[in-house]
Amino acid sequence: MGVLNVTPDSFSGDGVFRDHHRAIRRGLDLVQQGATWVDVGGESTRPGAEAVSVDEELERVIPVVDGLAREGIWVSVDTQKPEVARQAVEAGAKLINDVGGLREPAMMALAKEGKAQVAIMHMRGNPATMQVSPTYQDVVAEVTSFLLGQARETGLPKESIWLDPGIGFGKTLDHNLQLLRSIPSLAAEGYPVLIGVSRKSFLSKLLAAEGEKLSDGDRELATRIVEVKSWNLGAAMIRTHNVADCLLALRAAKPFASSNYPG
């Protein structure tokens, strides 16, 4: 799954904010690199991010979703807003990627209509508050229970639901590592697992000295390693900014694993 951010504060380097034609070309490039899905998002969900209005998000997202869908691309819409999700599906999106985990009743109602697949992600709080001292009694049990409960409430078949433990969304470094290690048990529930670790700040916390940050190159390298490990543990889809390098890493690792590596 290739990331296509149409936000002014994206750290992905897309540089396509408010240039719909350029954003569509970027999405086509991601598919050319090997992406199966292009995940279009018009609202930043990084820690501390502020929400944008429905109208603003619609203006950013819908023309891009429409343009890519018309090219036959499998489009995912990354949004917490039911109205944005609904209009994106009407414009051709085949997957609703809700970082809010269908907690909004209207989003759950939309998911139950079954007009698109859904990705249910776990997030503690919201982007503005999620990294303020997140605590759990048992992070794996709590996240798994939430995801399975939401999935069952949709009434959709398992193959139409992706479960995402929400790495970096209301979790400490240790929480993130525990959830990554638990991918096999989550996958064993029968739902495809979606993992997104690309360029996330926990990589710096894992590898850099306290108070320091990884260089861009080192963060990309760390991303590739964790993506490969996640796939080997049973993730069915990797959400990433750098599709070409992700696939290259997966293919290089394929001879040493017996799991579901792409050819």
**What is the DSSP-derived secondary structure letter of residue 43?**
S
115 catalytic? Reply is no
Check 26, 124, 200, 219 and give the catalytic one. 200
Do 123 and 171 form a contact (C-beta atoms < 8 A)? no
Alpha-helical runs (H) found in 182-242: 183-187, 202-207, 216-233
Nearest partner of 83 among 106, 50, 51, judged by Cα: 106
CA–CA distance, 55 with 130 (Å, rounded to integer): 24
Helix axes 173-181, 216-233, angle to 10 degrees: 40
CA–CA distance, 51 with 125 (Å, rounded to integer): 13
> What is the enclosing helix (H) or strand (E) of 75?
strand 74-78
Catalytic residue ranges = 200, 239
